Each structure stands twice: as C-alpha cells, then as structure tokens.
Amino acid sequence: MTNDYRSTLIAVGWSLAGKGWEDGLMMFAWAGAIVTTALVTLSTTYGFGLHFDAIDSAANKSLATKYTLIPPAISLLSAGAAKISIVIFLMRILGSSAKLPYKLILYIPTIIMIGANIFAMVVLLGYCTPPQKAWNPSIPGHCMSAETLDIGGRAVTVYNAAMDFLCAFFPIYMVWRLNMKTRTKWGLAVVMGGGILGAAASLVKVVMMSNIKNTSDITYSWAPIALWYMTEMFAIIIAGSIPTLRPLWKVIRGLQSTSQSNLSSGYRSNSQPIKKNSSKSKDGSTPAAPGLYTIALRDLDKDGSDLESNGPRSSRERIL
C-alpha cells in the first residue's frame, strides 16, 4: 500500500499552497533575533561583560552602556512575535472546533503579554529622559530609579515565563485529547511541546533579574541577563519552528513529489475556512467542524496504523 504523507505538511503548518500569519511572525522573530545577537556582539567590543570601571575609555563606556540597554528591548519584540506565532498556529490546529474556553486561555494571556512587553520596552528605551542620558551622563535630564527598573523588569519577566509555559504545555494537552494512538501522541507532544526549553530558560532569567537594579555597573551586572534572554528568545523560536522541519527536510531531499496544484486539490489552503458538518446530533445542535490540522493529525495516526499492518518502511518515511 502506498501511504500518502501530504497530510504531514498540513499537520505541521507548512503548506506549499499558502502560508499564514504565523509564518510571517516567526520570520519577523528570526530577524529580531539576528539584530539582537548582532547588537550584543557589538556591545562586547566596547566592554560589555566587563566591570564598568574596567572599561578603558569614556567613549567605550558610553557605547557599551548604549548597546546594553537596546538589545533586551528588541529581544522582547522577537520573543513576543514568536509566542504570538505559536498561539496562531495552535488556533489553526483547533480550527472551527475551538471552544470559547480555549480561545480565552490563548488570547487573553497573549494580549496581556503584548501590553507587558510594550511597557518593558518603553522602560528600557525610556529609562532616562532624554534616552541619550542613559549612556551620556553629561546630558541634562533625569533617569528612573533603579527600584522602578527592578520591579518592572521582574514583573514582566515572571509573566513572560508563565506565557512560555502556556505555549509549551497547551499543545501537549491539546494533542493528548485527540483520538489517536498513545505512541503517536507522545511523538507529537515532543515535537509540539518544545517550548519547555524556552520556559526553562525564562525561569533562569527570572533568577538573573536580581542584577537588573545594579545600574552603576550595568555592563557587568547585565551580562548574565543578556545570556539568558537570548537563550529564551532562540529556544522559543526553535520550538515554534520544529513542527515544520520534517516537511522541509522532505522537500530538500526530494521526497515531497506532490505538486502545489495537487496539494491544493487534496487539501484546502490554510486561508480557506473549514465548512461545518451539516449533520445534527440527537439534541438538534450542529457539531463544530474539526480544524483542518486536527483532521490531518488524525490522518497521521491512521497512516501509522497502515504502516504497522503492512510492515515498517524506511525510517525517513515514518511520520515521527
């Protein structure tokens, strides 16, 4: 029997027929991560990671401080975009079968996260008025107290850690409720629950945030924080991208022979809504149609049963 693995592409959110908002947000997150890494690397050339008094010149002290404050703001933007991408992807999996509690669980924390991250970015970039005073003390103006920076930074970091856990464990909960074999559930849970790594990194960052109030030695005290906000950022991006790696690998290796037109005819584009089932239950209500991705996930389980009954094929052709 020839197994059709087109459903794999749909199950992981990668469709040759069209891409959704989550793809654009994840690419934006990657771009932000590259910029963050470049700025942190640049800051080390001026003395970031050294004690402030150990930096050799006033110019380097100014530039090191400047590039200590800017990268964490961009990392918040990048990590936030990656989390929003994951949430949109999860809603695509649920499709029109998403219940109101699921929507509230995903949307409300996401909206709060957006507001919290905007607040944190404003605090970081507006720590002093004017902003240039943060790295050039000779400019007239004033700065926030270190306690304000500490409280705001810790609060946003703790909330982002909670959001990381939501993005990590909700997919596992969702997959576990699908009607498929336990082995397949475990495989999908590992693939879709990779955000646990980001959640772990965010917990370490919460501990490291105790150094944020030491602004007098900012180039040294903020170095561990930089290490962990970059770790969290990349862990979330990688976790959100893992589900697309298998179909991408198949395309690269030439294993995906189905053309875009065939894919479109076999499975509807991501941008098209799923038609609800017209049949009614005993109580007269019309059940919500399962999401297109949910259907594909169930197809994966069926394909796995076919593989068991017809004997294993090469490891490359296994779903997981």
Distance CA 48, CA 220 (A): 7
Q: What is the pLDDT of residue 303?
A: 47
Q: What is the pLDDT of residue 191?
A: 72
Amino acid at 137: P
**Structure tokens belonging to residue 212:** 């944020």
Q: What is the pLDDT of residue 89?
A: 84
Instruction: State the pTM of this model.
Output: 0.72
Q: What is the pLDDT of residue 221?
A: 94
Q: What is the pLDDT of residue 255?
A: 55
Q: What is the pLDDT of residue 280?
A: 52
3-state secondary structure of 48: strand
Where b means 16+ CB within 10 Å and e means fewer, 240-258 reads bbbbbebbeebeeeeebeb
Q: What is the pLDDT of residue 193?
A: 74
23 and 227 Cβ atoms separated by less than 8 Å: no
**Residue 164, number of CB atoms within 10 A of its CB:** 28
**Structure tokens belonging to residue 218:** 């900012």
Instruction: Give the DSSP H or E segment for 142.
Output: strand 142-143
**Residue 210, number of CB atoms within 10 A of its CB:** 13
Q: Which residues are CB-contacts of 74 (< 8 A; sequence separation ≥ 6)?
A: 32, 35, 36, 39
Q: Which residues are CB-contacts of 272 (< 8 A; sequence separation ≥ 6)?
A: none
Torsion on CA atoms 303, 304, 310, 312, rounded to nearest 10: 130
Positions of the chain with pLDDT lower than 70, given as ranges:
1-19, 97, 244, 246-320
Burial of 318 (0-12, 13-18, 19+ CB in 10 A): middle
Domain ranges of the chain: 6-248
The angle that helices 223-241 and 196-208 make with each other, rounded to 10 degrees, is: 170
Distance CA 88, CA 11 (A): 14
Q: What is the pLDDT of residue 284?
A: 54
Q: pLDDT digits over 243-252, tens only?
A: 767 666 666 6
User: Of the candidates 73, 80, 37, 34, which has an alpha carbon nearest to the alpha carbon of residue 240?
Assistant: 80
Omega of the bond leading into 130 within 30 degrees of 0 (cis): yes
Beta bridge partners of 128: 143
